[in-house]
Structure 1
Amino acid sequence: MLGAAAALAGCTSTNWEADCETTAQGVIECPVEHRPPSPDLDAELLDGTRFDPAGHRGQVVVVNFWGSWCPPCRAEAADLEATYQATRDQGVAFLGINIKDERDKARAFEQGRVTYPSLFDPGSRLALDFDIPPNSIPATIIVDRDGRIAVVIRQAVRQEGLQPLVERVATEAPAPPADSADG
């Protein structure tokens, strides 16, 4: 889940990504049986309040790493917002993670661009937990309903490329509870 204890810090393409497919467009898609758990997203939002990952259990969560200083991040903001608006009624949540930024600049960047919340990660701790080097943003990750990483995109996104991926993950059924087979 979003609060999973296992983190991806230190993972490289020789670890969990080895069992995933990389498309010609550079999108990494992980089959259900090889998806790693998402790192914990219990952190502070840009407005200073605490984000509660429990509020998104059972949802697909699209996580976008961005900075106000990043031109490709500015370019993709409208496509992210459009995809969010088009998929949020399908049990999809969006969450930005602002890195290497000042809080005021990050808030100013978001205003009028996106309506979903962003975590404040000036030290890039969360980016590193997700194996996203801070110098390689923007990056977008799709976390499935079971809190596992389904898709990793380490480049700017466009709605026509992102939305079908989000919708496909949103149509997947969550895994049954582990104890349901024991009866």
Structure 2
Amino acid sequence: MNARRWTAGLLAAVATVALAGCTSAQGREKACTTTAEGIIECAADQRSAPPKLAGELLTGGTYDISEARGQVVVVNFWGSWCAPCRAEADDLEAVYQATKGSGVAFLGINVQDQRDKAKAFEEGRVTYPSLFDPASRLALDLDIPPNTVPATVVLDREGRVAVVIRAAVKQEGLQPIVERVAGEKPAPD
């Protein structure tokens, strides 16, 4: 329990620093807005460099998000111990099934969990892969890291953070966001 509190505190501190002034690592001001629902959205021409999200899959093998470049990637941070994570699992899977034909991939990142409990949680619920990150280190690689679990991050086709949702999602709220990011025109070279 102390590890969860420490990790949550660390993520909150990192998020506070990342959002202060909403500036990127290069000091350039980003056009990010926060909706009344707490959804953070960044303008396409102001998104920072793609995060490095890679590691061991929950079911074995490895995954590197750079291999999904060219696709919109919906990244969901979750834990089997998290009641809102259990509540949103069916909605995430429904959005995945509805959008995967449009060049959208989903990736779960399991945090603060035991592998056997995480695998049991996913079985029969979701068909997309999940990274196993019991120490919750991968969130720190995001320019605007999630600081709650569950959290969902939508990466554009260039791998940059487009949207951060720091709450459980429902299909009717998430699907239009994913479809909008998937419909964005690529940036000119």
Deviation at 1:171, TM superposition (A): 0.4
1:16 counterpart = 2:22: yes
Separation in 2, partners of 1:27, 1:127: 17
Please say if residues 16 and 35 of structure 1, whose CA atoms lie closer than 8 Å, have aligned partners that are also in contact.
no
Please say if residues 99 and 123 of structure 1, whose CA atoms lie closer than 8 Å, have aligned partners that are also in contact.
yes
Deviation at 1:176, TM superposition (A): 2.9
TM-score when scaled to structure 2? 0.83
* Counterpart residue type for residue 162 of structure 2: A
Which residue of structure 2 lines up, in the alignment, with residue 86 of structure 1?
98
Identify unmatched segments of 5+ residues in structure 2: 1-12, 24-29
Q: Deviations over 1:73-107 (max 9, x none)?
A: 00000000000000000000000000000111111
Please say if residues 22 and 29 of structure 1, whose CA atoms lie closer than 8 Å, have aligned partners that are also in contact.
yes
Which residue of structure 2 lines up, in the alignment, with residue 43 of structure 1?
55
CA RMSD of aligned residues (A): 1.6
1:118 to 130, 147, 170: 130
Which residue of structure 1 lines up, in the alignment, with residue 168 of structure 2?
156
* Counterpart residue type for residue 132 of structure 1: P
Deviation at 1:35, TM superposition (A): 1.2
* Counterpart residue type for residue 149 of structure 1: V
TM-score when scaled to structure 1? 0.86
Deviation at 1:15, TM superposition (A): 4.3
Matched residue of 1:38: which SS? coil
Matched residue of 1:83: which SS? helix
Please say if residues 58 and 174 of structure 1, whose CA atoms lie closer than 8 Å, have aligned partners that are also in contact.
no
Deviation at 1:127, TM superposition (A): 1.9
Which residue of structure 2 lines up, in the alignment, with residue 175 of structure 1?
187
Q: Deviations over 1:112-148 (max 9, x none)?
A: 1100000000000002323223xx1100000000111
Aligned residue pair count: 167
Please say if residues 16 and 34 of structure 1, whose CA atoms lie closer than 8 Å, have aligned partners that are also in contact.
no
Which residue of structure 2 lines up, in the alignment, with residue 63 of structure 1?
75
Which residue of structure 2 lines up, in the alignment, with residue 180 of structure 1?
none
Q: Deviations over 1:146-181 (max 9, x none)?
A: 11100000000000000000000000122233xxxx
* Counterpart residue type for residue 18 of structure 2: T
Matched residue of 2:18: which SS? coil
Q: Deviations over 1:47-96 (max 9, x none)?
A: 12011334311000000000000000000000000000000000000000
Deviation at 1:16, TM superposition (A): 3.3
Separation in 1, partners of 2:66, 2:161: 17
Which residue of structure 1 lines up, in the alignment, with residue 4 of structure 2?
none
Separation in 1, partners of 2:45, 2:110: 30
2:155 to 143, 149, 157: 143
